[in-house]
């Protein structure tokens, strides 16, 4: 008799255990996410680690600090200064145009300072609000909610507060302040005439900065390599900046590429319509087909700089 009873008890215990709710496992602790460094910050850290201290310059602008790579002219008195601005997503020693030019133009007698621009703001993500849930109609006897006076005042202050400027507006101010800081660094190093070389989207920001500066302030000339309008800055347009530009400009475009060819035609029409005698185009297509593309481009840059060279004013005689 004991065996059947024991078997029955074991079966009942198993059934009872199966009916009990399973004990929830302890809540797993979410691992701490280490925010990955942006590519721009990684570039800055690598350049600071691998560049000699004597070539590093910290540019202070708009409450920020950014690294620039400086090389002195290979002559007692510099012919001037060259500010080189890398394109979007590039660093200050970028192997296309920026890095080679900062060295070759320094060897040719100009102070050079190469910089990159901070990352542009990303497009905001639009959150779709959830559909409203229908709630039961309030009863007539429901007690109305009483809003404290302090909360009403706080809400009023939020309504009256001035809205913050859009991210693209703040970015434009940061970029123009950084470019002006770079021009000032070169002047502080003794460059009496400062020119500007920029590529891709940075060429747009260089032109914008030059258009908002006084005519007697640097840059003396602009050398823009395949200028592109940034998606984060629809206004002012590139064409409108070219219409108001009064500085000598070397517009470097590949006329075998459709966007560049269309852009070159429009830019040339603007220059002719505005009577801009100091506007000049350089077709990059023959250069890019050559095995000596970098050397040929460097020669064109030196020719442009030499043709626009102005000697420093004579020192003022002491009374």
Domain boundaries, the chain: 40-119+167-307
Task: Report how far residue 317's alpha carbon sits from residue 319's, in angstroms, rounded to the nearest whole number.
Answer: 6
Is pLDDT at 11 greater than 90 in this prediction? no
**The CATH number, out of the four listed (3.40.50.1820, 3.50.50.60, 3.40.50.970, 1.20.1630.10), of the domain defined by the range 40-119+167-307:** 3.40.50.1820
Kindly state the average pLDDT of the residues 102-130: 82
In the chain the first and final C-alpha atoms are separated, in Å, by 131
Sorted by sequence, the CB contacts under 8 Å of residue 156 that are 6+ apart come out as none
Task: Report how far residue 31's alpha carbon sits from residue 297's, in angstroms, rounded to the nearest whole number.
Answer: 51
- pLDDT for the residue 313: 81
Sorted by sequence, the CB contacts under 8 Å of residue 171 that are 6+ apart come out as 118, 120, 121, 232, 233
3-state secondary structure of 222: strand
Residues in a beta bridge with 61: 64
Q: How many CB atoms lie within 10 A of CB 85?
A: 29
Mean pLDDT value across the chain: 82
Q: Residue 63: which region, alpha, beta or left (left: phi > 0; alpha: psi -120 to 50)?
A: left
Q: What is the pTM of this model?
A: 0.76
Quickly state the pLDDT bin for 246 (edges 50, 70, 90).
very high
Sorted by sequence, the CB contacts under 8 Å of residue 278 that are 6+ apart come out as 221, 247, 248, 249
Task: Report how far residue 52's alpha carbon sits from residue 48's, in angstroms, rounded to the nearest whole number.
Answer: 8
Cβ atoms of residues 181 and 69 within 8 Å: no
Structure tokens given for 308: 């626009």
More confident residue, 245 or 12: 245
User: Do the bridges between strand 222-225 and strand 110-115 make them parallel or antiparallel, or are there none, so unpaired?
Assistant: unpaired
Quickly state the pLDDT bin for 295 (edges 50, 70, 90).
very high
Quickly state the pLDDT bin for 34 (edges 50, 70, 90).
very low
Q: Nearest-CA neighbor of 197 among 303, 86, 69, 280?
A: 86
Quickly state the pLDDT bin for 215 (edges 50, 70, 90).
confident
């Amino acid at each position: 008799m004991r065996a059947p009873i024991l078997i029955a008890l074991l079966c009942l215990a198993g059934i009872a255990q199966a009916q009990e709710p399973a004990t929830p496992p302890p809540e797993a602790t979410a691992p701490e996410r280490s925010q990955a460094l942006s590519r721009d910050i990684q570039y800055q850290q690598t350049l600071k680690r691998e560049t000699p201290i004597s070539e590093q310059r910290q540019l202070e602008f708009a409450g920020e600090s950014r690294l620039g790579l400086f090389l002195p002219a290979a002559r007692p008195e510099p012919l001037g200064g060259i500010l080189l601005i890398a394109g979007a997503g590039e660093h200050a020693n970028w192997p296309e145009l920026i890095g080679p030019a900062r060295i070759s133009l320094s060897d040719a007698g100009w102070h050079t300072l190469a910089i990159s621009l901070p990352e542009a703001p990303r497009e905001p993500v639009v959150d779709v609000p959830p559909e409203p849930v229908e709630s039961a109609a309030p009863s007539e006897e429901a007690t109305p909610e009483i809003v404290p006076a302090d909360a009403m005042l706080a809400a009023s202050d939020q309504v009256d507060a001035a809205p913050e400027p859009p991210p693209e507006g703040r970015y434009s101010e940061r970029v123009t302040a950084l470019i002006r800081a770079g021009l000032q660094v070169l002047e502080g190093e003794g460059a009496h005439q400062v020119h500007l070389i920029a590529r891709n989207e940075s060429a747009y920001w260089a032109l914008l900065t030059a258009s908002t500066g006084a005519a007697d302030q640097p840059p003396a000339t602009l050398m823009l390599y395949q200028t592109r309008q940034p998606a984060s800055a629809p206004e002012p347009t590139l064409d409108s900046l070219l219409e108001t530009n009064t500085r000598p400009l070397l517009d470097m475009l590949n006329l075998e590429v459709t966007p560049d060819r269309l852009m070159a035609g429009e830019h040339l029409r603007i220059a002719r319509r505005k009577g801009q005698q100091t506007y000049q185009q350089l077709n990059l297509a023959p250069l890019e087909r050559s095995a000596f593309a970098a050397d040929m481009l460097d020669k064109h840059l030196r020719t442009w700089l030499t043709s626009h060279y102005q000697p420093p004013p004579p020192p003022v005689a002491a009374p």
